[in-house]
Chain A
Amino acid sequence: GAVVSQHPSRVICKSGTSVKIECRSLDFQATTMFWYRQFPKQSLMLMATSNEGSKATYEQGVEKDKFLINHASLTLSTLTVTSAHPEDSSFYICSARRPATGVNTEAFFGQGTRLTVV
C-alpha cells in the first residue's frame, strides 16, 4: 500500500488565491521530504527539500516566497502556493524516504496533486 499520501489529488482555484497541499508519510517518520513539479510531457523537477523543524532548501529558480513549505512534524510537510496564477497550474508531487536508510535508497512518492488556476 501507499506509504506516502498526498492531499488533495486535484484542486481548482481562482487566480490570486492560495492553495495548500499536504504530504504525509504513513508508516514512517520522515525528517526530509521533497517537492517536485511536473509540467505536461516534461520531467519531474525538484522544487525544494523540506526539512523537519528547519527551513526548506529551494532549488535555483524556485521562488521561496511563492511556494511556502512547512515541515512541522515528522509525518507531514505542506506546500502552499501563494497568490496562485495560471502559470502555476501543474502537477505537484512529494516524496520521502524511510529514515536511517542512507542516500542510496529509493524514495516513495505521493499520488500527486493536479493544480489548476483559473
Chain B
Amino acid sequence: DQQVKQNSPSLSVQEGRISILNCDYTNSMFDYFLWYKKYPAEGPTFLISISSIKDKNEDGRFTVFLNKSAKHLSLHIVPSQPGDSAVYFCAASPSGTYKYIFGTGTRLKVLA
C-alpha cells in the first residue's frame, strides 16, 4: 500500500521554465511534508518542507504548495536550471513521529 505517490516517473522541462512536481498521499495523519533531491549513488539532500498548518512555503526558486483537502502537494521550481536535473522525492511524516514515508520519485531533466 503506497501511502505517498508520485505518479509521474519522469519530467522534462526547458531551462528557464517552471518545473512542477506532484505528490499525492492517502494518510490523513501526515502533518509534515518534505521534498528531497537525489543524485544516483548519493543520499537525498533536503530541499524544502511544509507543515500541515500552512498551504505554501517558499525558499528561493523552490515553492511547495499543500492542498490538504485533496491530499496533494507540489513542488515548483522556477526558473529551472540544468543543475536541477535529479530525482525528486516527496516524503511525509505521520503526526508526532520522526518517520518519513517516501514517494517513488520523479526524475526531472532540465534541458539547456
- Do A and B pair up? The answer is yes
Q: Which A residues form the contact surface with B (CB < 8 A)?
A: 4, 6, 9-10, 32, 34, 36, 41-46, 49, 91, 93, 95, 97, 103-104, 106-112, 114
- Contacting A at CB under 8 A, from B53-95, are 89, 93, 95
Contact of B46 among A104, A107, A110 (CB under 8 A): A107
B50 vs chain A, min Cβ distance (A):
10
A46 CA to B91 CA, complexed, in Å: 11
- A114 adjacent to B41 (CB under 8 Å): yes
Interface residues of B (CB under 8 A from A): 2, 4, 9, 31-32, 34, 36, 41-46, 49, 51, 89, 93, 95-105
Chain A hits for B102, CB < 8 A: 36, 43-45
Which residues of A sit under 8 angstroms from B51, Cβ to Cβ?
A: 104
How many A-B residue pairs have C-beta atoms within 8 angstroms? Tell me: 66
Which residue of B31, B43, B98, B100 contacts A111 across the interface (Cβ within 8 Å)?
B43
B9 CB, nearest partner CB in chain A, Å: 8
Known contacts A107-B46, A112-B42, A112-B43; A44/B98 CB under 8 A: no
Given contacts A104-B93, A106-B49, contact A46 B101 (CB under 8 A): yes
Contact among B36, B43, B104 for A6, CB-based, below 8 A: B43
